[in-house]
Structure 1
Amino acid sequence: MLTPLLNALPCPLPLAAELKELEPRLAAAKGLSLYQLMEKAGLAAYGLLRQRWPAAKKLLVLAGTGNNGGDAYVLARLALADGLAVTVVASGEPKAQEASQAAKAWHQAGGKTLFSLPAALDGELVVDGLLGMGLASEVRGAAKALQVFLATTALPILAIDVPSGLGSDSGHWWGKPFSASAVVTFIFPKAGLLTGQGRAAWQQAWLADLDLTPSAETALNALDFSALKARRPTRKATAHKGDSGRLLVVGGNLGLSGAIRLAGEAALRSGAGLVKVLTHPQSALAVSLGRPELMVEPVADWRAPGFAAKALVLGPGLGQDPWGQAMCAGALGLPLPKVVDADALNLVAQKPQALVDAIITPHPGEAARLLGASIGDVERDRLAAVQALAQQYRCVALLKGAGTLVSDGKQSWLLAVGSPAMAVGGMGDVLSGIIGALLAQGLSPLDAALLGAALHGEAGSKAAEQGAIGTLASDLFDWVRNLINA
């Protein structure tokens, strides 16, 4: 059965090493050999090809030396039997047993295999079966020229499992980037299709379950808003404002008042009953103007607030000057569950410390500083980065970016939510306010991070329905309120 990829969520996201162990067990449970499973994968891919390109008559099939190439040989044989003109170009002889069987069946059916691209290409569609799961280094050798062809051809591309050159676990491009017209992936979605650069590596993506029963306990799982709705806080009929969450928000240095205002209002829209903002004296008027529900206190020097907060948001608009440093040091000393974001993260990176009972919400640049690494290091393996952040700082870590990742250091989750419309200033401040409000209403740091990210992303997607360009962070407020009540 073919299912649109995002409709298959929530689900486990086994990494390549896990799936290598899972596939034989899942196949055996259905009485299938691995070659029979390959036949089913090739059939599913060919079914999508006929569904998506019913008029195609000439195929160029690129086959690698592994099982991804085996799937491609199966597809090529089925297409040949259907009367299509099929050219197969391989990067080498098959190395895997099942792939060798598939290549042999292709040749027995009358197919021929080339080992370099012909001078005159005659095809309407390219099938990419070159490189599959587990790629974690630059594309080299004979596969490199074929991968570059994929990235430069004007022909539509059907990619088998993942577009060749994309890390199936990481979403990092190890080859020249391209966007496949369609991808068909098997049994479980692949994390690399849902995070990092993988979100731009396909135009349509489908999951074929191969008639298996795909269930597994994995280190990474995919979630969306529908899977987390049940964790939303509720409000009793007898509730008063103090019952609904008391949140302290610290930040808003001179010239940065917008960030703390966005965080504060997001917290109110997410259900916090009382929100107190400690901000720079010259920012206080701008923060409170037009939003009188925020309790704004101008603070020139740190002092413990006379406010019985249940949670803290630290960082939006904080700055790194002496005022920001003093506010950061003082707020971190408060015995509260907290969200640590923005410049508070940059200050923590300068003097690393454990952040127990906290949620950190870095973007890749902040994550790199916290880990003493480069942004490239973080983006090459976002999952490893978020796990390292959680372990090093003893907290819940949320790594922003396409395909947000959350980890408690033991297990990780991918939030398949959001929209490119959210690539504007202030979105991170809104996220911090949402998560802070959930903390203040009694959710655990992990649940607050997961639900907050899902709520934020879903609100962003709803706001983007009116157009991806020109969406503002404040456009999320009405959607946040609607979604938390729906």
Structure 2
Amino acid sequence: MKSLARASDITKLDEKAQHVAMIPSLCLMESAGLQAYQIWKPRLSKTDRLVFLCGPGNNGGDALVVSRYAFGDGFTNQLLIYMGTRISDSCTRHRSIAQAYGITSLEAEETDFDRLFSELHNAAWIVDGLMGTGLRGPLQGLTASLVETVNRSKARVFSIDVPSGLGDDVPLDGIMIKADLTVTMGLQKRCMFHPATRSKCGTVVCVNPSFPPFLLEQVPSDILLCDRKASLSKLALDEYKNSRAHVGIFGGSVSYTGAARLSAKACFAARAGLVSLYCDPDVYSLAACESPSVMVKIYEGQSLPSYGALLVGPGWGKGREALLSKLFATGQGMVLDADGIRAYASLLARGQRPEHGPLVLTPHVGELGALLEGLFGKEQDIQSPNAFFASLQKAASELHATLIVKSSLVHIVDETGRMVVIEGNNPSLGVAGSGDVLGGIVASLLAKYQNRWLASLEGALIHQEAGRLAQQAYGYYDSETLLAFLGKAVQEAEV
């Protein structure tokens, strides 16, 4: 697992590197620029027109170091565009070096915008060294106009540290660079891992600009980036259907008959031995015919047997609040998905906080919004990275639950505030029924291991691996096809 750092943590790390480890700022900048250039260099052609956007701070200084190394290697078709008036000492030094090298430069504030527009549109690569991690508000004025022009150009974009316009507390409706490559310094930045920001960063590579290991270890690490595959213990040779756990599913309706079936099949593929499906009377016959391996039942208020876990909500439809309250009252471990989450949000909005047993919720971003509004009484601000992470941690704590938030990324957080981010980067998984498959995987693992964190993390990783295998085989697919790769992904996870 790798730490995801706040901007303020990196600022402190940089200061400690200078004043505790006694590494001069210019040395850190030189190392940062050299390593960034080495990552970028293999992507360059000698004929490429390189335009560098250089802000007044250390981010701009890093860009100028990259420019110098590129120039020395023969990539001389360059233009430096300078921004800002309050220039840091280190950046001032590197501007002087660039002048001594004879690299062509323009002062953005003193140049006609048509000229700037033309230069950016004729570039093969634009190097973004405008703003670093310390940005506190949205980009404005000329800077915003330049960034908008960059995003409309056909040039590839290389951002240093983070794409300009992105910051921990910066609202996401502001303009920001859309990068093809981001080389970030020291540690990965949590602001790059909001559902709306990761795609803006392109390929992300982390390098260490000479920060000492003992200082890196001091950076807070309450949010981690997962860098491993799923890991499960193998089933014992004498396992059979009862010992492999029994999952009870409450789902399915006239409008959504397929969701519960997908979940049930996912339970089996994730090694559950038995699955019981409780559905509405008007879909009982269809469910029974479609799922011969599943014990299909109608729930009429009878006492439930003790299941390893319940999966509640896939394809459930509206108006399930009363039934959900009854299921909560059983105290059984539960994975709450889809319409079950919306029913829970409705109960919360009415001021009802039903007691429950071990609980995992699997919302997508829209369902998360409804859940937060029901819990906290008004639409919550999750439109900046810090606000998003704080809302997840607060919701998990208030609900005494583990959350698996689904988007192009997966965010898993428990009631202690522990959080792990899984990089999906696989849009082929964004297909109807994919979440129902994930719910079945997590429910099966919860039933077997009785450990919410294990079920959530390993279940999400298995789901990602099944998606990778399906994409590799077919490119794009439906959730029935995804199921066909699930058993293989589970088997690969066994150690």
TM value normalised by structure 2: 0.86
* Structure 2 counterpart of 1:316: 314
Instruction: Report the CA distance shift for 1:481/1:365 in structure 2 as closer, same or farther (over 3 A).
Output: same
**Bigger shift: residues 52-61 or 255-264:** 52-61
CA drift at 1:468: 4.0
Q: Are the equivalent residues in 2 in contact too, given 1:345–1:370 (CA < 8 A)?
A: yes
CA drift at 1:103: 3.2
The residue type equivalent to 2:440 in the other structure is G
* Structure 2 counterpart of 1:385: 391
Instruction: Report the CA distance shift for 1:195/1:313 in structure 2 as closer, same or farther (over 3 A).
Output: same
Alignment of 1:108-187 (within 5 A): 108-111=100-103, 112-116=105-109, 119=115, 120-121=118-119, 123-135=123-135, 137-167=137-167, 172=172, 174-176=174-176, 178=178, 180-187=179-186
**Equivalent in 6, 16, 20 of residue 7 of structure 2:** 16
* Structure 1 counterpart of 2:280: 280
In structure 2, the gaps of 5 or more residues are: none
Aligned partners of 1:171, 1:440: CA distance in 2, in Å? 40
CA drift at 1:472: 1.2
* Structure 1 counterpart of 2:268: 268
Q: Are residues 1:370 and 2:367 paired? A: no
* Structure 1 counterpart of 2:24: 33
CA drift at 1:270: 0.4
* Structure 2 counterpart of 1:78: 69
Aligned partners of 2:106, 2:240: CA distance in 1, in Å? 74
Q: Are residues 1:102 and 2:94 paired? A: yes
The residue type equivalent to 1:133 in the other structure is T
Instruction: Report the CA distance shift for 1:461/1:309 in structure 2 as closer, same or farther (over 3 A).
Output: same
The residue type equivalent to 1:367 in the other structure is L
In structure 1, the gaps of 5 or more residues are: 1-9
**Equivalent in 402, 405, 413 of residue 411 of structure 2:** 405
Aligned partners of 1:54, 1:27: CA distance in 2, in Å? 36
* Structure 1 counterpart of 2:448: 441
The residue type equivalent to 1:220 in the other structure is I
Query: Quick one: percent identity of the two aligned structures?
Result: 25
* Structure 2 counterpart of 1:205: 204
* Structure 2 counterpart of 1:484: 490
CA drift at 1:244: 1.2
Instruction: Report the CA distance shift for 1:297/1:170 in structure 2 as closer, same or farther (over 3 A).
Output: farther
Instruction: Report the CA distance shift for 1:56/1:14 in structure 2 as closer, same or farther (over 3 A).
Output: farther
Alignment of 1:227-306 (within 5 A): 228-229=230-231, 232-299=232-299, 301-305=300-304
Q: Are the equivalent residues in 2 in contact too, given 1:171–1:195 (CA < 8 A)?
A: no
CA drift at 1:82: 4.4
Aligned partners of 1:75, 1:127: CA distance in 2, in Å? 9
CA drift at 1:259: 1.0
Q: Are the equivalent residues in 2 in contact too, given 1:170–1:383 (CA < 8 A)?
A: no
CA drift at 1:220: 0.8
CA drift at 1:407: 0.9
Deviations 1:412-437 (A, max 9, x none): 11011351011111111111111111
Q: Are the equivalent residues in 1 in contact too, given 2:360–2:404 (CA < 8 A)?
A: yes
Aligned partners of 1:423, 1:235: CA distance in 2, in Å? 31
Aligned partners of 1:374, 1:62: CA distance in 2, in Å? 41
Q: Are the equivalent residues in 2 in contact too, given 1:64–1:94 (CA < 8 A)?
A: no
Secondary structure of residue in 1 paired with 2:242: helix
Aligned partners of 1:441, 1:129: CA distance in 2, in Å? 50
The residue type equivalent to 2:487 in the other structure is R
Secondary structure of residue in 1 paired with 2:253: coil
* Structure 2 counterpart of 1:338: 334
Q: Are the equivalent residues in 1 in contact too, given 2:321–2:346 (CA < 8 A)?
A: no
CA drift at 1:40: 1.0
Aligned partners of 1:136, 1:357: CA distance in 2, in Å? 39
Q: Are the equivalent residues in 1 in contact too, given 2:264–2:440 (CA < 8 A)?
A: yes
Aligned partners of 2:464, 2:221: CA distance in 1, in Å? 24
* Structure 2 counterpart of 1:394: 400
Q: Are residues 1:424 and 2:431 paired? A: yes
The residue type equivalent to 2:124 in the other structure is E
**Equivalent in 223, 226, 231 of residue 223 of structure 1:** 226
Aligned partners of 2:345, 2:139: CA distance in 1, in Å? 34
The residue type equivalent to 2:246 in the other structure is R
Aligned partners of 1:405, 1:206: CA distance in 2, in Å? 20
Q: Are the equivalent residues in 1 in contact too, given 2:328–2:357 (CA < 8 A)?
A: no
Q: Are the equivalent residues in 1 in contact too, given 2:137–2:170 (CA < 8 A)?
A: no
TM value normalised by structure 1: 0.88
Q: Are the equivalent residues in 2 in contact too, given 1:251–1:317 (CA < 8 A)?
A: yes
CA drift at 1:479: 2.2
The residue type equivalent to 1:317 in the other structure is G
Aligned partners of 2:344, 2:334: CA distance in 1, in Å? 14
Cα RMSD for the two superposed structures: 2.7
Deviations 1:384-415 (A, max 9, x none): 33223212212111111011111114221101
CA drift at 1:69: 1.4
Deviations 1:203-235 (A, max 9, x none): 433222335545454111011452x41xx2432
* Structure 1 counterpart of 2:472: 465
Instruction: Report the CA distance shift for 1:170/1:60 in structure 2 as closer, same or farther (over 3 A).
Output: same
Deviations 1:298-326 (A, max 9, x none): 23x33322x221211111111223xx233
Aligned partners of 1:288, 1:225: CA distance in 2, in Å? 39
Secondary structure of residue in 1 paired with 2:278: strand
The residue type equivalent to 2:458 in the other structure is L
Secondary structure of residue in 2 paired with 1:197: coil
Q: Are residues 1:358 and 2:359 paired? A: yes
Aligned partners of 2:243, 2:18: CA distance in 1, in Å? 52
Deviations 1:188-209 (A, max 9, x none): 2233444413332244332223
Q: Are the equivalent residues in 1 in contact too, given 2:163–2:176 (CA < 8 A)?
A: no
Aligned partners of 1:424, 1:75: CA distance in 2, in Å? 41
Instruction: Report the CA distance shift for 1:407/1:78 in structure 2 as closer, same or farther (over 3 A).
Output: same
Aligned partners of 1:167, 1:298: CA distance in 2, in Å? 51
Deviations 1:64-101 (A, max 9, x none): 23321121122233334445143221220344443344
Instruction: Report the CA distance shift for 1:21/1:340 in structure 2 as closer, same or farther (over 3 A).
Output: same
CA drift at 1:438: 0.6
The residue type equivalent to 2:449 in the other structure is G
Secondary structure of residue in 1 paired with 2:38: helix
Q: Are the equivalent residues in 1 in contact too, given 2:9–2:220 (CA < 8 A)?
A: no
